């Protein structure tokens, strides 16, 4: 108040909201003292040059492992060189975008490195995305060349002007090209990759990242994690998620070994076996998956002692996560924060498990970036006051691909830039946070209607746009609710025909809408629940009143309960209920409508294997999400020990009751 009144006397005509609340000393502390991130970074080198240096230094060290296949740094570098010469012959050069749609494999890593060596930039295209979304991304990026695999080449609707190169069929063709390093034609300011994220206009937007920004980030984060050549890194994230860029290039630019097996599809049993067999030291996982895996280890009475660093990112660190992480006794834990536009991880915090903390901070800025918490007038907020997280500094995205207006809106001039060069930029994240008294930042939520679910950033407006494109839908609003097993999406719909009392018609339309959405959106963007309204609630000035939408929780959205009949159905229902954190599951309940998602599928598969001896592929639950159908599909597949295991489980339950 003293600062405010002093400012009033000096600037009596100034708007109240534009007057400073902070003294000069406080401003110095927040703007400068808490943002001392200057260091020496190799901003003059591109990523592939760092890997070439590593290949010269440790040519026989193992670079990439996939199953029982591996490549040394010498082999990886030579194969990437041959492919890079081929790509240059096809016209790839600086700032030329090349699509890559591949499943995890050695060829995937070779393809990524070759694109960079040729001077180009890669655009990851997840083969599991809907065809409509992939087609848009290819057209919007303007790629002329697509790298893929033989089993995927007929999966895409590719324009005639896009040439396809199938990497697992090109070994003979590439032998004609030299294995020597290419003359580098890419400069640090040239593009390294373009990743598409969810867009509020209904279309994904491409985020453009340069070599210089990525190189500086990798150097900073390696020092932060104390990364070494001895690391064995588990490559978990999809290429379409920017965490994959950190996992892949952090490992290869620092001489570590990268394991690229299909980990997201593995059960916890298989994941644990792989981590133990390969002595994995470095994990980077979303909180929900890490919690499920930690619970599995705890139930087995086991620990993963090889893990040295465990990075948690993609969504907020939940209050219950810390309590289960003692199964990694030798690990250091980091809470990582960052939108794609700020190059993966601009803020990070090392979490001490034994220290009582109600809220896990996202930390401080690292790597030539500065974090400010600002109000609507771009004034720094005082300690404990919530403001928008804005990231400034050298390590930012160039902007959005072919969207200058949106780039200018989100990347604005840095009002605190005091460097001699000037011209600094600041990115508005749309996230809310507050300073602790020591300058550490605590995440508080979103400023708009963008949400994160299972680590994926989702613009609710994109889903609403897609719903309104359906011929039966006049208006649509999507929100997120907190379900027993995490956040879920709920869509509120108004149709041209009143369906509020027609349950059968509602069910038919819901099914049609879900089928339609799965054709145009990734699985994680399809709402778990679709509710029909006569009209959307409005404020007195005619705007949508989101607060007046009929609120409900996930348990209220469960349909009428029909009890399981057979013992197998009951056992499966009990597992589903425990995993989904619901009271009970009936025969006609749908796993995904109750809040299930791909990470929880892994938990179910692991439980079925551990408790019932059933060896189930995760894909079966996607094919048969209704309990009755799922149980029927599994009926008769029990192994020879199934009855014995049920008997032992009953005995164990009796002993547990006696013990209690």
Token duo for residue 597: 């998602």
The Cα 249–Cα 237 span in angstroms is: 13
**Mean pLDDT of the residues in the chain:** 87
Provide Rg for the chain, Cα atoms.
26
Going from the first residue of the chain to its last (660 residues), give the mean pLDDT of each consecutive group of 10, the final group possibly shorter: 90 86 90 84 83 96 96 97 96 97 95 97 92 91 94 81 87 86 94 87 88 93 95 94 94 96 88 95 90 90 96 81 90 95 95 77 92 91 92 95 94 89 90 93 82 78 86 88 75 79 78 88 86 80 75 57 88 91 85 81 89 85 88 70 55 61
Only one residue has tokens 């340069």, namely 210
Phi, psi of 423 (to 5 degrees): 75, 15
Strands 332-337 and 347-351: antiparallel
Phi, psi of 468 (to 5 degrees): -70, -15
Of 642, 641, 622, nearest to 630 (Cα)?
A: 622
Token duo for residue 302: 């086991």
The Cα 565–Cα 575 span in angstroms is: 15
pLDDT at residue 641 in the model: 46
Contact 463, 489 (CB under 8 A): yes
Per-residue burial over 577-604, b if 16 or more Cβ lie within 10 Å, else e, is bebbebeebbbebbbbbbbbbbbbbbbb
pLDDT at residue 640 in the model: 43
Of 244, 438, 196, nearest to 345 (Cα)?
A: 244
Helix (H) or strand (E) holding 332: strand 332-337
| Cα angle 556, 200, 493; round to 5 | 35
Contact 77, 55 (CB under 8 A): yes
Token duo for residue 416: 């605190």
User: How far is residue 518 from each of residues 203, 493, 511, 522, 525, measured CA to CA in Å?
Assistant: 15, 17, 11, 6, 9
Contact 47, 215 (CB under 8 A): yes
User: How far is residue 234 from each of residues 70, 271, 311, 333, 406, measured CA to CA in Å?
Assistant: 14, 10, 11, 15, 35
CB atoms within 10 A of CB 563: 11
Of 154, 150, 151, nearest to 166 (Cα)?
A: 150
- Residue 142, Cα to own-chain centre: how many angstroms? 24
| Cα angle 189, 195, 196; round to 5 | 135
The Cα 306–Cα 417 span in angstroms is: 43
The Cα 348–Cα 364 span in angstroms is: 6
**HSE on the CB side for 143, CA within 13 Å?**
31
Per-residue burial over 399-438, b if 16 or more Cβ lie within 10 Å, else e, is bbbebeebbeebbeebebeeeeeeebbbbbbebbbbbeee
SS3 163: strand
Only one residue has tokens 């600041």, namely 426
| Cα angle 134, 138, 140; round to 5 | 115
The Cα 123–Cα 197 span in angstroms is: 12
pLDDT at residue 639 in the model: 46
């Amino acid at each position: 108040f003293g600062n405010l009144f002093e400012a009033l006397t000096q600037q009596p005509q100034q708007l109240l909201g534009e007057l400073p609340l902070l003294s000069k000393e406080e401003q110095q502390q927040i703007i400068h003292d808490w943002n001392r991130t200057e260091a020496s970074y190799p901003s003059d080198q591109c990523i592939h040059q760092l890997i070439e240096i590593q290949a010269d230094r440790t040519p026989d060290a193992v670079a990439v492992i996939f199953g029982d296949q591996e490549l040394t740094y010498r082999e990886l570098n030579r194969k990437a060189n041959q492919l890079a010469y081929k790509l240059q012959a096809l016209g790839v050069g600086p700032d030329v975008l090349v699509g890559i749609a591949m499943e995890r494999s050695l060829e995937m890593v070779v393809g990524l490195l070759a694109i960079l060596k040729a001077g180009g930039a890669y655009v990851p295209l997840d083969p599991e995305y809907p065809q409509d979304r992939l087609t848009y991304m290819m057209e919007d990026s303007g790629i002329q060349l697509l790298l893929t695999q033989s089993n995927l080449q007929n999966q895409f609707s590719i324009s005639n002007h896009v040439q396809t190169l199938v990497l697992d069929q090109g070994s003979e063709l590439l032998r004609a090209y030299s294995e020597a390093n290419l003359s580098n034609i890419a400069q640090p300011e040239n593009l390294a990759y373009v990743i598409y994220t969810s867009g509020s206009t209904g279309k994904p937007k491409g985020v453009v990242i340069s070599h210089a920004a990525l190189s500086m980030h990798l150097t900073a984060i390696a020092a932060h994690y104390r990364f070494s050549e001895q690391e064995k890194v588990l490559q978990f994230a999809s290429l379409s998620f920017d965490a994959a860029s950190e996992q892949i290039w952090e490992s290869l630019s620092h001489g570590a070994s990268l394991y690229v097996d299909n980990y997201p599809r593995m059960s916890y049993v298989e994941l644990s076996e792989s981590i133990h067999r390969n002595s994995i030291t470095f994990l980077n996982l979303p909180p929900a998956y890490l919690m499920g895996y930690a619970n599995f280890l705890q139930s087995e009475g086991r620990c993963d002692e090889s893990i040295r660093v465990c990075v948690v990112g993609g969504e907020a660190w939940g209050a219950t996560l810390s309590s289960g992480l003692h199964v990694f006794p030798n690990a250091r834990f980091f809470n990582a924060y960052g939108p794609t536009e700020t190059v993966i991880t601009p803020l990070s915090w090392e979490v001490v498990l034994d220290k009582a903390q109600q809220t896990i901070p996202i930390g401080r800025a690292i790597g030539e970036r500065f974090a400010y918490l600002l109000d609507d007038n771009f004034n720094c907020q005082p300690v404990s006051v919530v403001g928008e997280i804005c990231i400034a500094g050298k390590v930012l995205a160039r902007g959005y691909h072919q969207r200058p207006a949106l780039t200018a809106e989100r990347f604005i001039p840095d009002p605190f830039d005091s460097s001699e060069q000037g011209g600094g930029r600041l990115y508005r994240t749309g996230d809310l946070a507050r300073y602790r008294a020591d300058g550490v930042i605590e995440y508080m939520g979103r400023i708009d209607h963008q949400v994160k679910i299972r680590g994926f950033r989702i613009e609710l407006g994109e889903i609403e746009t897609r719903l309104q494109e359906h011929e039966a839908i006049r208006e649509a609003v999507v929100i997120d609710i907190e379900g027993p097993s995490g956040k879920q999406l709920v869509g509120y719909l108004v149709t041209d025909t009143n369906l509020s009392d027609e349950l059968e018609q509602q069910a038919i339309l819901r099914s049609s809408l879900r089928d339609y959405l799965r054709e145009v959106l990734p699985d994680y963007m399809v709402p778990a629940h679709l509710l029909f309204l006569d009209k959307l609630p409005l404020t007195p000035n005619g705007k949508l009143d989101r607060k007046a939408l009929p609120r409900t929780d996930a348990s209220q959205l469960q349909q009428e309960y029909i009890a399981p009949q057979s013992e197998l159905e009951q056992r499966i229902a009990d597992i589903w209920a425990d995993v989904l954190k619901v009271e009970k599951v009936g025969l006609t309940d749908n796993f995904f409508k109750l809040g299930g998602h791909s990470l929880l599928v892994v938990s179910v598969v692991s439980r079925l294997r551990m408790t019932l001896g059933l060896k189930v592929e995760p894909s079966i639950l996607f094919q048969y999400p209704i309990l009755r159908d799922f149980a029927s599909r599994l009926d008769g597949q029990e192994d020879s020990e199934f009855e014995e295991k049920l008997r032992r489980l009953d005995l164990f339950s009796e002993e547990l009751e006696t013990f209690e």
